Every structure is written in structure tokens, then in C-alpha cells.
Amino acid sequence: MSDPRRLIVLRHGQTISNARGIWQGQLDHELSELGHEQARAAAAAISSLRPTRVVSSDLVRAHDTAAAVAGASGGLEVSTDERWREIHAGGWQGLTAGEVHSQSPEDADRLVSGEDFKRGGYGESLADVACRTRSALDELIATMDPGETVVIATHGVSGRSLVAELVGLDQSLAWRVLGGFGNCHWAALEEGRAGWRITQWNASAEGL
């Protein structure tokens, strides 16, 4: 078999809202000072994997993280697509977990139990996120050359969802067994004869 194709699915660096435990969803928040430091460290580590392309959510926290990776990898261009965005959390966007539980205790309990439903009343479900990221993923993979490594700069929920889609893992099971991405942590996936597999999960510059 020719050289395997690889994907690096990278969550953005920290924002002030991350630090405060606020549901961001598709609100467009910038990286914090620590988030920029995390992005630079992740970029240096990922550059050793010799990526040839960087694609990103169009939200600024993901795009700025992607730009750091692209710069450290020889000045690559960043291609944006709104399908890599984070889950839309409806009326929960801008609220802390405590405020969500206070306002919608039943939905908060459903979330903790792993039930899939539209977040915040009119937002997206995990199934919705899986559907839109899968369409972007299929288009991307169709353009990848043998041996190519592509970085996808995205978000916590959307990142886990697209990884699960790629390896054929049920979304609810992925939520339970994989857990979440840390800020500027990534998953590495490699294509083999039987399909794609996860070679790293929640890797970080600090862990190398």
C-alpha cells in the first residue's frame, strides 16, 4: 500500500469563555493570551508531522489556531469552511453550565446522561453536527493525495463528532468513551487497508 493519508483534528486554544465555563457554541470569541500560547506550542509540535494543508472553522478562535499551525508549517494557507464550526447551542450560548442547569434542569440532566437532543431548544444535536461535519470531511478526503497530512482546526464537540464519523463510532458511544478535547489538544487518524483508525487522542504539545 502507498503511504497512508493522515488527518490531525485540532481543537482551538483557550478563550476567556472557556476559562469561565461558558457555553460558546457558535458565538465568535477570540483566543485568550494563554490560548495564543497554546496555539504556538501546538503549532510547533504539529509542524513535525509535515502537514501539507490546514483547513479551519471560520470562527476566529479556530482560525487563529489554524493560522499558527500554518505559519509554523512553512507558511501554508488556511482554508475556512463553516461546516467545521462548533455545535450551535441555541439559548445556552453565553450561559455558564450552572446557569443552564438553573434555567433548564431537565435538559441539563439529559445532557449529562448522554441523551442526544437539540441544545438550548433551537440549537443542534450531535446528529446534526455529525451530518454537517461529515459532508465537509467527505469532500476533504476526496481531494487528499497518498501520504498527505491535513490539519483540521475545529472545536471540542465538532472535533469529536467528525472523528467518530470517520472511524464509524456511534456518536453517543464516542461521547461516553472518548470524552472531550482539551484546548489545543488533537486527535491523529491514519488510513489503513480496512479504513481510518485513531492513532492518538487528546494529544498535546505538553505530552510530547
Whether residue 135 lies inside any domain: the answer is yes
In the numeric block, which cell numbers belong to residue 78?
A: 488556511
Full domain range(s) for residue 15: 6-88+125-207
Confidence of residue 208 (pLDDT cuts 50, 70, 90): low
Q: Which one-letter amino acid corresponds to residue 173?
A: L
Q: What is the mean pLDDT of the chain?
A: 95
**Closest C-alpha among 112, 79, 90, 107 to residue 26:** 90
Q: What is the CATH number of the domain that holds 29?
A: 3.40.50.1240
Whether residue 105 lies inside any domain: the answer is no
**For 81, which DSSP code?**
-
- Write down the catalytic residue from 63, 82, 86, 190: 86
> What's the distance, Cα to Cα, between the start and end of the chain in Å?
29
Q: What is the mean pLDDT of residues 93-101?
A: 95
Residue 36: active-site member: no
Whether residue 100 lies inside any domain: the answer is no
Whether residue 114 lies inside any domain: the answer is no
Whether residue 68 lies inside any domain: the answer is yes
Residue 185: active-site member: no
* Number of domains composing the chain: 1
For 180, list phi and psi in degrees, rounded to 5.
Answer: -100, 165
Q: pTM score, two decimals?
A: 0.96
